[in-house]
A and B are shown apart, each in its own frame.
Chain A
């Protein structure tokens, strides 16, 4: 649904300081100290593995019926069958592939666009910054789901269209985060040195700033994977996904259209939603973990989309009561 995405967007609160270099280079150590992030990583990895070995572990065919219509879960069919008598567990495993594929690809698209916009905007500043930020503002106000519906309808319901559409709408928060980070990295010693050595600015940006922005970008991309999967199921439900592709979203849609509830076939609906939620939770924990490891002071500030700091109204300084 089209509400404020839970994504990091600090601006001035991005930390600076000499110890950042070392911390940026040791995210893994910090991660190890955060069990939530590890759990998230494990969940995501588990699903990725399932997706890769899907054809091997599917117990039955996902095309031909192997049981009666809407058979309840049993020892034979652990998650029952769907309206065509096809094994639900196999469908769910198969669905992992498409759902994760769409999620990853859309997030990559969003990451590429957002990362580029943020990097250029934050490093170069000036006119480029203003223009790109206005562009970001514009994309921010467009309600995502209606636009995705319209565009998916324009281009037709194919997987790649869905990936592009979602990617084209979710890059804004990444742009903001990367911009803030790029701005702070820009002030660092080694960057200034490279600039004073007369290197071309674009080269400096790519060779020196980008590597320090990359980990944060990665963290953001992971978070966007979660959102992408969410929106993909939404589009599938509204009939704008590829109906021949078995994804978690189309499983839910088929159940809705094929009278699953009337037939009491809860197993045709519940597992797919749980799977989606698990992946999203995994991505969220993992992504948030990476972010916190990179920028501990992000905690708290990162979940707003607007570029505001959380300053105490009463507290330090002359306003303190």
Chain B
């Protein structure tokens, strides 16, 4: 009797104590305001689900990290929200008529956040380091200085860049390069080919911020956690309206959208289509979507030595498959309507670079069947066509990036392809494995599904189809001498009108051969609490390496 009562009462007391404690904790404690910062303007809290992998520009590969560099480091030029190149650290520039000399006038009297002068020499040092160690520690910067021979600061605000050959995309390339403080980084340019550059963590520690030159300074960084930024008081450009911002990493879009709804964060970059509809129903949240630079592709292995399925290299087969891809249904069901049909890899938001004459074929199973019949691939016993003695049954490698909308698109494509006598099976792998399987020249895959978020200048995407990108960006293994010839001409063509014609010609060639089918260009969706406004939206959202204008004008209403 006694024990039972005694015991049960202890039990009850403990439970009560725990509940009380929890209640106290849950109700107490100040909530974060995000509204009052150190000097007015407030702190913007942003949620992302792509982690910032490193603060060292020579090491980081994630788009989120590269966007961070755009905000903390100066660049010579940048894009505005209409994707035109506008001044940044360089106020004006000129190109010599033969395209071999570029002269930039940079901001006078600019400073780094630690008070040291920010001059054209820092730009020259960064470019030189990229050239010198471009096959070693600075390899990530090699693409930014493609075609550059040397860079010198003739005065503290004049930068002269000599080219080995004219580069049509030079401004677009150099735009991507963060200008680093020589006085901080030069001591790390040691080791074999500057391998030391990659070892510097470049992280804020107590009392020491990252030495920055852009509109913001990084004051705190936690891997897979939170990164905090404050306004840079000595920034050479227009002062941002917010006092600072923070980026919080979430493992899933659900978590970040929930946090947005609960007021724990203020804005979310890159909302998946499935979340957009429920956010729209919430009156306190603004959902912004626009056609993105966000291609999703269906990749063929065109490597000529890939002998097990040679039919997959035939343009007729590519075209037949293109007819069998139901873009309207994919857009409706897989992307919830947040996408547009695509054809050329040079997407519509690139502006004039997109060739309007190139259109994707309409969904037509009869036509697809006809093309395959004409190619001589007869139907086998179980409804699968036979090509060169083997059934047209392929494994599709789907990169983890594409899970969600991409895998839903696959299901639709798989069902439709059954009706043209082609069987597809899915092999879903993580990104690293997909990259390994699809690195051209490869015999390890037949069909793949992935995506591109290409920059506005067409040079990057066009480059991926060249023979020289084997072992680099090429997945298709496409290698065509006519195409390469066109590309080399285009890369050096400084006359914009002529260059445009060359780009169109390349797009047409790609449309004929179809090394990969770009089936949709997805919208870019961002969302924020309606207390905030002024987000500079681009086809890759407001937090992008393309421009600092994403956040510069953000303010509370």
Question: What is the interface of chain A, defined by CB distance below 8 A to chain B?
Answer: 63, 65, 69-70, 83-85, 153, 156-157, 239, 242-244, 256-264
Contacts and interface: CB of A to CB of B under 8 A. Distances in A.
Contacts of B261: 262
A273 B258 CA distance: 21
11 contacts: A65-B333, A70-B278, A156-B429, A239-B400, A243-B428, A244-B411, A244-B426, A257-B253, A259-B254, A261-B258, A262-B253
A83 B428 contact: no
A3 B254 CA distance: 28
A262 B428 contact: no
A157 B427 CA distance: 8
Given A63-B415, A156-B427, A156-B433, A262 B275 contact: yes
Nearest to B276: A259
A261 B254 contact: yes
Interface in B369-389: none
A256 B278 CA distance: 15
A155 to B, nearest CB: 11
A239 B399 CA distance: 12
Given A69-B274, A69-B336, A83-B274, A243 B254 contact: no
B403 A263 contact: no
A262 B407 contact: no
B416 to A, nearest CB: 12
B171 interface: no
A65 B403 CA distance: 18
Band of interface residues on B = 20 to 34
Nearest to B405: A258
A259 B403 contact: no
Interface of B: 252-254, 257-258, 261, 272, 274-275, 277-279, 333, 336, 400, 403-404, 407-408, 411, 415, 426-430, 433
Contacts of B407: 243-244
A259 B280 CA distance: 14
A259 B426 contact: no
Chain A interface mostly: loop
A262 B278 contact: yes
Contacts of A263: 274-275, 277-278
B258 A239 contact: no
Contacts of B253: 257, 259, 262
A262 B336 contact: no
A258 B405 CA distance: 9
B177 to A, nearest CB: 34
A177 B415 CA distance: 49
Contacts of A63: 411, 415
Contacts of A262: 253-254, 257-258, 261, 275, 278-279
Most buried by B among A69, A239, A256, A257: A257
Given A239-B430, A263-B277, 7 more contacts: A69-B336, A83-B274, A84-B333, A156-B433, A257-B252, A259-B253, A259-B272
Contacts of A83: 274
Contacts of B433: 156
Q: Which 4 A-B pairs have the closest CB atoms?
A: A259-B275, A262-B257, A263-B278, A243-B428
Contacts of B430: 153, 239
Given A65-B333, A239-B403, A243-B403, A258 B274 contact: yes
A258 B275 CA distance: 7
B254 A260 contact: yes
A241 B407 CA distance: 14
Contacts of B275: 259, 262-263
Contacts of A84: 333, 408
Contacts of B279: 262
A153 B336 CA distance: 31
Nearest to A65: B333
A263 B276 CA distance: 9
Contact of B272 (A69, A244, A258): A258
Contacts of B277: 69, 263
A259 B427 contact: no
B364 to A, nearest CB: 21
B403 A264 contact: no
Nearest to A83: B274
Nearest to B410: A244
B284 to A, nearest CB: 14
A258 B336 CA distance: 12
A62 to B, nearest CB: 11
A242 B403 CA distance: 12
Contacts of B274: 69, 83, 258-259, 263
Contacts of B429: 156-157
A244 B396 CA distance: 12
A146 to B, nearest CB: 16
Contacts of A258: 254, 272, 274, 404
Nearest to A262: B257
B31 to A, nearest CB: 20
A244 B424 CA distance: 12
Contacts of A85: 333
A49 to B, nearest CB: 28
